[in-house]
Amino acid sequence: MAQTPSPGPAPIPARTVKLVALGDSLTAGYNLPGSAAFAPVLERALRERGHSVEIVNAGVSGDTVQGGLERLDWSVADGTDGVILELGANDALRGLDPAVTRKGLEAIITRLKARGIPVLLAGMYAPRNLGPDYAKRFDSIYPELAKAHGLVLYPFFLEGIAGDRALNQPDLLHPTAEGVRVIVRNILPTVERFLATLPAKP
């Protein structure tokens, strides 16, 4: 009489990767329902592609890089596997010295690295009405920091929507819900590449 084979060990469920999106109003979802903000939309897109992830929305409207640095330790909890760093747009809108922005971003990156938390750096471009010299100094911050610290870089967070009236709110600064979906669609391959670089944890 044939014996029924005994079942093997139950499969271990994939561990959920915990990310924090640290940013300003572009991350926070200014004027949008909470479910339409960048972090939840990105989380849903990644889950649809088979990734077990949770993404905390740590966006604060109006934040400069300095503001993000000041709240870094409580915005990024222990146990975070990676951070999507999206800050600097308000620095540029206020015409702050790019050297100050660079110093603040580097401090955030360095502090996270000291905690063993990898960073995906989302870049920003300066408004062109501030002149070519300012734009050159500001725009170079992100690729140079990414190179210096070995970070995954997404060159321009607003790629595909900047200046598009159909994808931005009337201020032409903040994306609509559809604009957020375009941002997520464009950044998705870079986030997946970032996930692949994260160290395995039990």
Q: Which residues does the annotation mark as catalytic?
A: 25, 171, 174
Sheet containing 119-122, strands listed edge to edge, beginning at the edge strand earlier in sequence: 53-59, 17-23, 82-86, 119-122, 152-154
Check residue 129 and report its DSSP letter. G
∠ Cα 173 129 190 (to 5°): 50
Composition of the chain by helix, strand, coil, percent to 5: 45, 15, 40
Longest dimension (CA), the chain: 85
Structure tokens at 163: 């200046």
